[in-house]
């Protein structure tokens, strides 16, 4: 067996035997790359990123990012502990940094390393908006979405290699590569990514509510996001994210559930 065959076989096999449980859905998810390897690599990349960018310290905005992040992390621990996942966060190393940059973006690396760009603060329009964004980004890390995407990419590559090895005719192989490339993205990877975004919206809404922020503020945030985009977005079918309107509709429907979940933790009034 060639090395390519071995790689393809190993990847596909690992996809079936390497699984982790998503605590927020109870579903088994792919975990070809374990967090014991993923987290240290992410921490190293994060430190390198900070060294190469303008990190803002000591301002009201920087302190707000840290304050909101700590509240969301505490809410996550409360929810996980209450639902039988004590110790789930033991390898997370939370860190929250504000970066001077006009990008309208924020992200959280596997293991809890978070960046907000100053460009997104006007859209956040206050602490509750920051909590919406923070809850969403932290949820990607908590649900191991990075791990799942990496695992899915390995499987996609493994199937492509297996197909190329199995098809001897060159024209048939070229057709397979063309159709598989488009099909695996449109029917596989893109819906996979959109499902992660919707899942992070749902989890994030719950976390921000437990942290004491009004989950209804998430609707306003995404309405501002939609206005900022000016309608310039690819069709949802060809996008890694749900459309703005889909997100807004989903969030409106989820607000009562998030408030009910927060009530279990004694939270009945919210910061707007």
User: Minimal CA–CA distance to 214: which of 132, 140, 123?
Assistant: 132
> Given phi > 0 = left and psi -120 to 50 = alpha, else beta, which region is 159?
alpha
Q: Across-strand partners of 19?
A: 30
Residue 137 known to be catalytic: yes
> Cα(126)–Cα(128) distance, rounded to whole angstroms?
6
The angle subtended at Cα 112 by Cα 59 and Cα 84, nearest 5°, is 125
Instruction: Render the burial of 176-211: b for 16+ CB within 10 Å, e for the rest.
Output: beeebeeebbeeeebebbbebbbbbbbbbbbbbbbb
**CB neighbours of residue 149 within 10 Å:** 17
Q: List the catalytic residue out of 95, 127, 137, 197.
A: 137
Q: Which residues are catalytically annotated?
A: 137
């Amino acid at each position: 067996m060639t090395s390519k065959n071995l790689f393809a076989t190993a990847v596909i096999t690992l996809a079936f035997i390497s699984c982790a449980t998503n605590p927020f859905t109870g579903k088994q998810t792919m975990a070809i790359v374990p967090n014991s390897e993923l987290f240290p690599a992410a921490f190293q990349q994060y430190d390198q990123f900070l060294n190469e960018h303008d990190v803002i310290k000591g301002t009201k905005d920087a302190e707000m990012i840290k304050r909101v992040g700590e509240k969301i992390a505490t809410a996550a621990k409360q929810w996980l502990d209450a639902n039988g996942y004590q110790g789930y966060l033991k390898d997370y190393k939370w860190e929250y940094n504000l970066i001077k940059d006009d990008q309208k973006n924020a992200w959280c690396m596997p293991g809890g390393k978070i960046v907000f760009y100053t460009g997104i603060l006007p859209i956040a329009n206050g602490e509750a908006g920051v909590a919406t964004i923070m809850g969403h980004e932290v949820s990607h890390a908590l649900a191991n979405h990075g791990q799942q995407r990496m695992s899915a990419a390995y499987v996609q590559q493994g199937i492509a290699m297996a197909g190329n090895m199995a098809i001897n005719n060159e024209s048939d192989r070229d057709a397979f590569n063309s159709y598989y490339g488009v099909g695996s993205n449109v029917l596989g990877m893109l819906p996979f990514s959109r499902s992660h975004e919707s899942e992070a919206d749902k989890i994030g809404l719950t976390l921000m509510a437990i942290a004491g922020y009004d989950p209804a503020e998430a609707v306003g945030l995404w309405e501002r996001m939609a206005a900022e985009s000016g309608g310039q977005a690819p069709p949802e079918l060809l996008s890694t994210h749900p459309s703005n309107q889909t997100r807004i509709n989903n969030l409106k429907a989820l607000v009562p559930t998030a408030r009910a979940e927060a009530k279990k933790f004694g939270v009945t009034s919210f910061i707007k």
